Structure 1
């Protein structure tokens, strides 16, 4: 029962409250089971002595006590169960988010945001609803059914009459065995199609600006409509089978009631049982119909929840690709050199090497420039340095230590990484710049903004540094987002700064100012700059040219220009493009 481990662990840790809630609801249902007996006795009294004011008063008070007792106890028990269900939802979502933060980049490359949201929203909700509603109705049904049968026996209703009337209800276990697997299978398909719809919706909302610019709204509506149609088809298949199952239960209950009226009426006419017993019998059997329907609801809900539990437990069983060695220790990168020796790397499930035999030394305090065509392995190289992916052991060392022997926290805390896309969060500009150092003073934030040449733009906004950005920072232009992200890297002031083509969206003048600020602020600190424009790296102490995962050239700007190679060709092309643009 691995699929239910998540639920069992939670219930085990809150067992006392669950027992208390079940006890309240159990006593409430036992009290409720007295209704038919009291009404049966009332009928016998009316038949024997006729109606009197005293009889009406006595039985009214008894029924009122039963109603109050049932209402209060059941209300308390239901509140406790609902509260436990909401707490399960809260803790499970926190646990899922914490688990997401441990997963490797390779997992996110295979699973879209919409799919992950489906886990957090749809699956957790399905389990919570089954927990709350399921426990309530299960306790109600079982306790009430047991109480009803016991009360029928206590009320002197013949056992053989009870057995004949209850006989149709024995079909229910066989119906559960027959319908259960089909309901669970179809519920799984519904949850999977909901995940696809969420993923599609997230993608469409994120790309709505592109959709409008290309005027392809009908195509996008049609694409999203297909996912919705798939959900409808799967849900209708689930509804068909659950409707048949749920319709069967009240039919069996009604059949049992018909038998009681026919057979019980016959026995009453022949004075085998009293009129009060006959009334009690019919009321008890009528009372049994509702628990039977609840059992059907619980079975359906639990089958759907089982499908969601399977998905949640499978997710929580996913292990990150990047794990720390048991002997990993914190490293100090303040004065560490970086050595790559024979570094060859291929992405998981790829047969082609992204990097081949990389041999490179980056001395502490120096600036390394990396240039090359798209797909040459530039970003792959720095991802290995951050251990986003794992390099082969012994091929990458920092400060003389194999990178596998460093704790991930010490490694990533001492490296500032500025990506090309410049992702920003839906909060203020100040919070985005101070993302790593939340307690940074406004002066520190302003200094980082000045270094990245975004300061003047920020002052133009009405709220300046307290300006709240839209989703993913789309309030800003591409260049402004990139420079805000760059300010985040400056304020971290890490021993190693990696700029992954992070000035590609700025003009040449702004780029020159950023590079100059970089040279002043990064003295005695290691800097790695990936770029497509030579102007961003020509000041570097050493420049490497990558081509198809190999280092094909290495040296200073002047040394590489003197060679007849890729670097000189790129420089010539870019210089010609600059002169053409200036001429225009």
Structure 2
């Protein structure tokens, strides 16, 4: 909860004003029973009608003032809760953007969405209505109990005698409530995860005729969520009933013994009415004790889930070096990377001069993509093993480092925006002409003609309306639009046909002057014209040279090239036979 107190301090003026308005609210409300007392006792003693009219006017004014103060207290305290909710959501989002890929292997998207929405709502309810009612309960008891004691110490003690044992039971129920609420939040995260996965992978579910099985899985988690909510409802109901019972018992005790005191002339009727009024005024704060405790436990459980994420520090931290210009050279020195206890790269060394085109080839799982990600520090990179522009990447500011690259990853990530906005993602101020030029260089123009709105056509969630090849060319155009000093293609041409691949490779060849290009590919055709080709297997460089030199070595590269040539010939024969 320490993180919440830090946010509390940012809005201290709202809390102070809200507390002051609540104090004035209770001060005005607590005068009403005394006015009733004066009015009733005045009628019994034969007070003039003008006296009663004055009391009635005062009652109206006090009721109006109490309403104004009550509204102002809610404006300040509820807005403070909203402000902190907004700050926490921003902090949570920014924290997620700084996390390394390994973090997302441990936490599912659905669970993180649940924490960022439902859990934050519970925290806001605790900070807004929860804090308001807690402060109001304190002020109500601090104001009403002394006034009740002034009227009758004995009746006050009898009426409040049931409170201590009830509070002890509430405390015990509060612990049960915390566990029940944490279970509800966890099962809500599971449901969010399953729905998100099944919506994104709906075509896969249907392709495998797995709708019934996934529906049963959802039903199981939905049942678990239902059961957890039922247990939570029982706990909340117990707290609410206990608070209401406590308030009613206090009123009944006061009425019973107070009536005897009136009959024995130890109290006036007005004093008894005032005493019962104070007990009635305390009935809501007494009932609110259970509600506040339930709200606090729900908010605490939700905040613990948020803190669990916020207290997970990112392992990839930005350096402090921000050179005015970064030379497009890459120097990899004995790069060794382990992920999950498994060594992915083992002593990779490679120098790439400015303007050089280097191809990286190897079998699936050889470590090619991890090496590419290490250049951008998308995976944790050991110090003094990668230098860009002569500077250790662990010392470079991350924005400077990544701004030097035009990166096309294996996974073609597109956003639910127009094609133009996706291409201009790294350069939002790009003109329409620049976007069209980048699409042309990525061989997208023929496809552009069939899109209903051209570059303004929405691509759908994750590029749902585009084919795999179109998505790949969109990400290539996005990188080319940046005109970066270093272009990094991580298997970025795998979904393209041979003709389109050759067209894009030809563009890269024509524009490579002064630009360093690194092409990671499982296709040897994509790296055929590279200045140098590096072959990686089991995390090590086993071959290095030009295309012709590697073929002459008759090693792994030659075998891969031969196999792919046979596959292309087989595909050609199959297409010819089909005609």
Alignment partner of 1:9 is 2:6:
yes
**C-alpha distance in 2 between matches for 1:393 and 1:79:** 52
Residue equivalent to 1:345: 337
Aligned to 1:174: 168
What TM-score comes out, normalization by structure 2 length? Answer: 0.95
Please say if 1:24 is aligned against 2:14.
no
Looking at structure 2, the residues matched to 96 and 261 of structure 1 have their Cα atoms a distance apart, in angstroms, of 53
Work out whether residues 30 and 144 of structure 2, in 8 Å CA contact, stay in contact via their aligned partners in 1. yes
2:42 matched residue in structure 1: 45
Q: Which digits, 9 at most, give the CA deviation of each residue in 1:371-390, with x for residues without a partner?
A: 11110111011111111123
Residues 346-365 of structure 1: matches in 2 within 5 Å?
346-347=338-339, 349-350=340-341, 352-365=342-355
Aligned partner of 1:227 among 213, 221, 227:
221
Deviation at 1:53, TM superposition (A): 5.8
Number of equivalences:
574
Aligned match of 2:323 = 330
CA contact (8 A) 2:240 2:291 kept: yes
**Quick check: 1:531 aligned with 2:524?**
no
SS of residue in 1 equivalent to 2:407: strand
CA distance in 1, matches of 2:138, 2:547: 82
Displacement of 1:73 in angstroms is 1.0
Shift of 1:513: 0.6
Counterpart Cα distance in 2 of 1:75 and 1:25: 9
Q: Deviations over 1:507-559 (max 9, x none)?
A: 11111111101111222211111112211111111112222112222211111
- The alpha carbon displacement at 1:283 in A equals 2.0
TM-fit CA distance, 1:299:
1.1
Unpaired stretches in structure 1, ≥5 consecutive residues: none
Q: Let me know the Cα RMSD of the aligned residues.
A: 1.9
* Pick aligned residue for 1:108 from 104, 109, 113: 104
Which residue of structure 1 lines up, in the alignment, with residue 269 of structure 2? 275
Q: How many Å apart are 1:308 and its aligned residue? A: 1.7
In structure 1, the residue matched to 2:577 is none
Q: Mean alpha-carbon deviation: is it higher for 392-401 or for 262-271? A: 392-401
Matched ranges for 1:68-79 at <5 A: 68-79=64-75
Paired residues of 1:331 and 1:411 also in contact (CA < 8 A): no
1:520 equivalent to 2:510? Answer: yes
1:447 corresponds to which of 415, 428, 437: 437
Q: Would you say the 8 A contact 1:37–1:151 is kept in 2?
A: no
- Rounded to whole Å, the distance in 2 between the matches of 1:148 and 1:102 is 52
What is the SS of the residue equivalent to 1:404?
coil
Equivalent residue for 1:143? 139
1:193 aligns to what? 187
1:248-397, aligned counterparts within 5 Å? 248-325=242-319, 328-330=321-323, 332-336=325-329, 338-347=330-339, 349-350=340-341, 352-397=342-387
Cα–Cα, structure 1 residues 498 and 257, in superposed 2: closer, same or farther, change >3 Å? same
Write the distance in 2 (CA, Å) between the matches of 1:473 and 1:568: 36
Specify the alignment match of 2:547 in structure 1: 557
Cα deviation per residue 1:248-268 (whole Å; 9 max; x = unaligned)? Answer: 122122222221122111111
The DSSP-based 3-state class of the residue aligned with 2:406 is strand
How many angstroms apart in 2 are the aligned matches of 1:59 and 1:205? Answer: 66
Q: C-alpha distance in 1, partners of 2:71/2:164?
A: 31
| Preserved CA contact (<8 Å) 2:382 2:394 | no
What secondary structure is seen at the aligned counterpart in 2 of 1:425?
coil
Q: Secondary structure of the equivalent of 2:243?
A: helix
Give the C-alpha shift of residue 313 in structure 1. Answer: 2.4
The answer to whether the aligner puts 1:571 opposite 2:561 as a matched pair is yes
Q: In structure 1, which of residues 238, 241, 250 is the aligned counterpart of residue 235 of structure 2?
A: 241
Measure the CA separation in 2 of the matches of 1:121 and 1:581: 50
Moved more, 62-71 or 373-382: 62-71
Can you list the C-alpha shifts for 1:493-514, whole angstroms capped at 9, x where unaligned?
Answer: 1111111111111111111111
Deviations 1:276-314 (A, max 9, x none): 112222222122111111121111111111112222223
Deviation at 1:335, TM superposition (A): 4.1
Shift of residue 143, structure 1, vs aligned partner: 1.4
| Alpha-carbon offset, residue 135 of structure 1 | 2.0
Partners of 2:285 and 2:374 lie apart in 1 by: 60
- Correspondence 1:70-109 to 2 at 5 A: 70-109=66-105
